[in-house]
């Protein structure tokens, strides 16, 4: 099979995307496929027409990759691709819209507001989490403790987004659950060594401990919620749902990733390995 792996792109997650893309490219080549890596640039459309791939593996994180735009282009060109379509990608990329849909379906998520440039920030509950509505990998994540810190955090984020989310900080434990081909994977508890699971904690070796959850009842609840979220947002093939579980054991969905990372530190392949699915098998399942 001739497979194009799209990687890099224009988002703040470019470097992570390149790492994901290279890992996928290597696996495809070792599986015997004709795999070609392409960056997202102005010549992409012409290159795709020239190559005529049987399928595209989208390894682009963040805007232009996870938000439905590249999916729309591939639909227009009539090229099949791995992962969610335009609608699911766009819905899941915008954290504000995601949370509205989750609330409609009765899925617990922290209380929040969204604000755009020039708007007042009507928020007075602290600590609070401030983050861009349309970025991944915890890019631009702040935990603030008062209105001054809140204002400063929001102001900083206008460099990378047009909409900011402010939400309740849930004191508790970080969890994540992957979904592969409509089946929930084993939940993983995330234990950052400095308390906040930010960009540095995610992508620096040794800064975070990952432990598979042994609490059976909580595991089943998280898996059930992950599948519910996956279906509510009309996702396809794969996703990863991030949770915060409070001190009473109540899970809250924080966000959804439609193109989970596939680096050596990534959680999605880690969960697959726990289930006996190695990296090459993941790729084979996704491109079939």
- Active site residues per annotation: 13, 137, 203, 240, 242, 255, 257, 261
Task: Yes or no: say if 202 and 208 are a contact pair by the CB < 8 Å rule.
Answer: yes
* Paired strand residues for 131: 165
Q: For the chain, what is the total number of helices (H) and then of strands (E)?
A: 10, 13
Nearest to 37 by CA among 45, 64, 23: 23
CA distance 236 to 239: 8
State how far the Cα of 215 lies from the Cα of 175, in Å rounded to an integer. 12
CA distance 13 to 48: 23
Pairing verdict, β 142-144 and 251-257: unpaired
Q: CA dihedral defined by 76, 82, 87, 90, rounded to 10 degrees?
A: -100
Question: Roughly how many angstroms between the first and final C-alpha of the chain, as a whole number?
Answer: 10
- From the list 62, 72, 124, the residue with the least C-alpha distance to 93 is 62
Which residue do the tokens 């490219």 mark? 25
Residue 251: partners with Cβ closer than 8 Å, 6 or more residues away: 108, 175, 218, 221, 222, 225, 243, 244, 245
């Amino acid at each position: 099979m001739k497979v194009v792996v799209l990687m890099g792109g224009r988002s703040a997650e470019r470097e992570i995307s390149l790492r994901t893309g290279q890992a996928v490219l290597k696996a495809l080549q070792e599986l015997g496929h004709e795999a070609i890596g392409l960056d997202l640039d102005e010549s992409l459309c012409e290159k795709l027409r020239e190559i005529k791939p049987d399928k595209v593996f989208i390894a682009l994180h963040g805007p232009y990759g996870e938000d439905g735009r590249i999916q729309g282009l591939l639909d227009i060109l009539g090229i099949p691709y791995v992962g969610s379509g335009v609608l699911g990608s766009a819905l899941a990329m915008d954290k504000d819209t995601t949370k509205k849909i989750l609330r409609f379906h009765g899925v617990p998520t922290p209380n929040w507001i969204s604000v755009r440039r020039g708007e007042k920030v009507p928020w007075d509950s602290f600590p609070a989490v401030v983050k861009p509505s349309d970025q991944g990998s915890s890019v631009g994540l702040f935990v603030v403790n008062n209105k001054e810190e809140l204002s400063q955090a929001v102001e900083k984020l206008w460099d990378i987004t047009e909409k900011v989310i402010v939400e309740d900080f849930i004191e508790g434990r970080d969890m994540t659950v992957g979904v592969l081909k409509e089946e929930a994977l084993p939940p993983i508890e995330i234990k950052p060594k400095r308390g906040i699971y930010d960009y540095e904690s995610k992508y620096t070796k040794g800064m975070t401990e990952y432990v598979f959850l042994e609490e059976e009842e909580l595991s089943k609840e998280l898996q059930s919620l992950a599948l519910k979220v996956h279906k509510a947002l009309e996702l396809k093939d794969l996703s990863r749902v991030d949770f915060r579980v409070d001190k009473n054991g109540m899970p809250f969905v924080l966000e959804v990733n439609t193109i989970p990372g596939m680096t050596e530190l990534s959680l999605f392949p880690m969960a697959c390995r726990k289930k006996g699915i190695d990296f090459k098998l993941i790729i084979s399942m996704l491109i079939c």
